[in-house]
Each structure stands twice: as structure tokens, then as C-alpha cells.
């Protein structure tokens, strides 16, 4: 279930530290890669050998691993998809609230930018201390997921709130964060990707620099969100969902018309050639010392034609890549094409243009409302596009 996910578990010096062995086992059972970082005090309650045997990975305790010559708090944050600190003591809660980074666990937290879950464990009086209450409120405002402790018999011999939450609750909370909700279940989505190629002769073509990465990332994420995906691509890829390989704009147009007929949405992420060669040579054109003139004719405007003929319950999302006047050109395009949304990106920026692994986009709807997706990798940008658009179009 969690194959491909890396879970980072932080363990602090609370007596319930031994219970995290079961949490590690649950993640491993679901094919997650588990990394564990502990405070030195945590090893008073659970052994390093046990944690290494269960996680099948090295356990991290010290600030730097001299053998590998790299700052471990940065290496761990880069790899992990989620950070779970359980049990977390009142001491560590206070440290992370203030940004104190005096050990590997707190340094890792300070550098971690992805989802964080904390599961406190402490004496009832400590749990009810005004400083701890205030610190937890601050962490909530920072979007830290707090799984509150349970009420019961505590190690100090008293009854009250402070027991570590049930391990299954911690696991399910993390799983729900790691696995995207099936918000697109029941929807067929057609997505185009790549740059079309228009033949000149038997060996040459007119094309563009589109790599297809954005369209493929959209298809991958739509599939993960439960959609029935059809990818129409000039890039030949093997996926779990349906893929149709095309080359020319005309081939893409025919495939889109056929697939969109019974689909909910179309996302035109492909860079489609505006023109094609009128008379394609069956053989390679040889040089003869004279200028070569090629006559071009317009290709069908797929986005405009599909938008014009779509049904009331269908959604069409276009893309535009501009090198200047990005917002103005995108607004003009959504008016001219008649689609429901335009995703606009600035190809003049080398770090987010064609073939880059990153993107920065503006999403514009028919009412010309604008939302921005800040620079991020294309997989994450694709997820944000889908969440933005389908959050508005339920």
C-alpha cells in the first residue's frame, strides 16, 4: 500500500518508546521504507538493535555520521515523505516550538518541510501545563498534526490523560496523509502530453522542445487520485493507465475527439504544432544548392474545437507557454479558446521552462480569477493543479 513512501520516525525519551516497534512493523508490513532517528534518552526505553532489526535500516542518533561525511538532518529530510515524532515528550515539544536544534531529532524537525505528525506522551500534570498547552496551539497553527494522548493508567501510577495514542490511530493518520484521497474516483480524464511532430520528409520534422513531463505528471497524479485516465502522448511511456501514442497534431486531434466523447475532463498539456507541412515528401529531400521552400498550413485548434463542442457537464483545461506578457496572453487565450481553465507558465525562465523538472504556474478560470502555484517539482505542481481545479469543480 505504501510502496515507494519513506517514513521518518522520531523517538524521544518517554516510556512509551517501546510501543513504536509496533508502528515500525505496520509501516514495513505495508511496504514503506522506514528511517528512525532517536534522542539519546529514547534508547533507555528501546534498544538500537531492536529498532534496526525492525526497520531494516541504520538508526540515527548523533548529529553527524562521520562515516558518510554528510549532515544527516538534511539527508533524512530530503528522503522522507513524512516525519512522525512519537512518543514526543514535553521537553521536545518545547524545543521544536522555539526552533531549538540541539540534537539530531530537533535539527531534523527544523529542516523538515513536509507533513509532520506528533504524538505526545507525558504525565497528566505536564500535559495540562500552560506552557505545553500554549506550545501545542502554536504547533497547530503551523499545520503540525497533533494526535492527542489517551486517558488511562499512567507509568507514574496515576490515572489521567497522557498515555500515547493507539498505534493504529497514528498509523492510519499517517497513511491518510501519505495516500491521496480518491477525489477523482468515477471521473474519466483525458490528458495530452509532449510536443507534436509534423513531418517534412522521410527523416525530418517540425517540432518543439516540450518534453511531456508536465502532462505525464498530471496523468500519474490523476490516476493516484482515482481517475480513469487516458494519456494521449507523443512520448512513448508504459503506465498502469491507458496510453495512446501519437505523433502529429492531426493524430492527437482524432484521438482526443474519440476519447473525450465519454469523458468528464480534458487537460491539454501537450504543445501542439500550429502548422503542418502541406506536401510531405515520401523520400528524403536532397540538397541541390538552391533554397528550400516549405509551404505550411494550419493544424486544427484542438483546444478551441473541443471547447466549442463539449457538453455542459464536461470540463476543458488548457495550457499556455508564454515568453512575455504571461497573464495578459493567458487571459486572451481563455477568452478565445472557450475552455474552462488555463494553466500558464513562463518559458523564458530557464529553471521552469521546457524539459525542466520544475514548474511555476498561474491557473486562470473563465471569470479570470487567478491563483498561483509557486515553483515546485512537476509531480507536486500536477497534484496542486488537480486539487485546485477539481476542488472548484466537484
Residues forming the active site = 156
CA–CA gap between residue 107 and residue 127 (Å, rounded): 24
What Cα–Cα distance (Å) separates residue 243 from each residue in 125, 269, 296? 59, 15, 29
CA–CA gap between residue 240 and residue 222 (Å, rounded): 12
CA–CA gap between residue 156 and residue 223 (Å, rounded): 50
**What is the per-residue DSSP string for 254-284?**
HHHHHHHTT-SEEEE-SB--SEEESS--SSP
- Using DSSP's 3-state secondary structure scheme, residue 246 falls into coil
CA–CA gap between residue 43 and residue 49 (Å, rounded): 10
The angle formed by the CA atoms of residues 223, 225 and 230, to the nearest 5 degrees, is: 25
CA–CA gap between residue 227 and residue 340 (Å, rounded): 19
CA–CA gap between residue 279 and residue 274 (Å, rounded): 16
CA–CA gap between residue 175 and residue 162 (Å, rounded): 24
**What is the per-residue DSSP string for 77-106?**
HHH-SEEEEEEE-HHHHHHHHHT---SHHH
Helices (H), the chain: 20-29, 48-55, 72-79, 90-98, 104-111, 124-127, 130-141, 167-178, 213-224, 249-260, 302-309, 326-337, 378-392
Question: Strands 341-346, 358-365: parallel, antiparallel or unpaired by DSSP?
Answer: antiparallel
CA–CA gap between residue 137 and residue 146 (Å, rounded): 10
- Using DSSP's 3-state secondary structure scheme, residue 333 falls into helix
DSSP bridge partners of 361: 345, 373
* Residue linked to cell 500534570: 125
CA–CA gap between residue 244 and residue 230 (Å, rounded): 7
Amino acid at each position: 500500500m505504501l510502496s515507494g513512501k519513506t517514513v521518518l520516525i522520531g523517538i524521544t525519551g518517554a516510556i512509551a518508546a517501546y510501543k513504536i516497534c509496533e508502528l515500525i512493523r505496520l509501516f514495513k508490513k505495508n511496504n514503506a521504507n522506514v528511517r528512525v532517528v532517536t534522542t539519546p534518552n529514547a534508547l533507555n526505553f528501546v534498544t538500537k538493535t531492536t529498532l534496526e532489526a525492525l526497520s531494516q535500516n541504520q538508526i540515527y542518533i548523533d548529529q553527524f555520521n562521520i562515516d558518510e561525511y554528510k549532515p544527516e538532518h538534511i539527508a533524512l529530510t530530503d528522503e522522507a515523505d513524512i516525519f512522525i515524532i512519537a512518543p514526543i515528550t514535553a521537553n521536545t515539544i518545547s524545543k521544536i516550538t522555539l526552533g531549538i536544534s540541539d540534537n539530531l531529532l530537533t535539527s531534523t524537525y527544523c529542516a523538515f518541510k513536509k507533513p509532520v505528525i506528533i504524538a505526545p506522551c507525558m504525565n497528566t500534570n505536564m500535559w495540562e501545563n500552560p506552557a505545553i498547552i500554549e506550545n501545542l496551539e502554536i504547533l497547530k497553527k503551523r499545520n503540525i498534526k497533533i494526535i492527542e494522548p489517551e486517558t488511562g493508567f499512567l507509568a507514574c501510577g496515576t490515572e489521567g490523560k497522557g498515555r500515547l495514542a493507539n498505534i493504529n490511530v497514528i498509523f492510519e493518520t499517517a497513511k491518510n496523509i501519505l495516500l491521496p484521497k480518491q477525489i477523482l474516483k468515477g471521473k474519466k480524464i483525458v490528458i495530452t502530453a509532449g510536443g507534436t511532430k509534423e513531418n517534412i520528409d522521410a527523416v525530418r520534422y517540425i517540432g518543439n522542445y516540450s518534453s511531456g513531463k508536465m502532462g505525464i505528471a498530471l496523468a500519474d497524479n490523476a490516476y493516484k487520485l482515482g481517475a480513469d485516465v487516458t494519456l494521449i502522448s507523443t512520448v512513448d511511456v508504459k503506465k498502469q493507465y491507458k496510453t495512446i501514442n501519437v505523433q502529429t497534431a492531426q493524430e492527437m486531434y482524432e484521438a482526443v475527439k474519440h476519447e473525450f466523447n465519454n469523458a468528464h475532463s480534458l487537460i491539454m498539456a501537450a504543445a501542439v504544432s500550429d502548422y503542418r507541412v502541406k506536401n510531405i515528401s515520401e523520400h528524403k529531400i536532397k540538397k541541390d544548392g538552391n533554397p528550400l521552400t516549405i509551404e505550411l498550413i494550419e493544424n486544427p485548434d484542438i483546444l478551441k474545437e473541443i471547447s466549442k463542442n463539449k457538453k455542459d457537464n464536461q470540463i476543458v483545461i488548457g495550457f499556455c507557454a508564454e515568453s512575455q506578457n504571461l497573464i495578459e496572453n493567458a487571459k486572451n487565450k481563455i477568452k478565445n479558446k472557450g475552455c474552462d481553465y488555463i494553466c500558464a507558465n513562463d518559458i523564458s525562465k530557464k529553471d521552469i521552462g521546457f524539459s525542466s523538472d520544475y514548474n511555476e504556474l498561474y491557473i486562470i478560470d473563465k471569470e479570470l480569477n487567478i491563483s498561483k502555484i509557486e515553483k515546485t517539482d512537476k509531480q507536486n505542481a500536477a497534484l496542486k493543479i488537480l486539487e485546485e481545479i477539481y476542488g472548484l469543480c466537484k
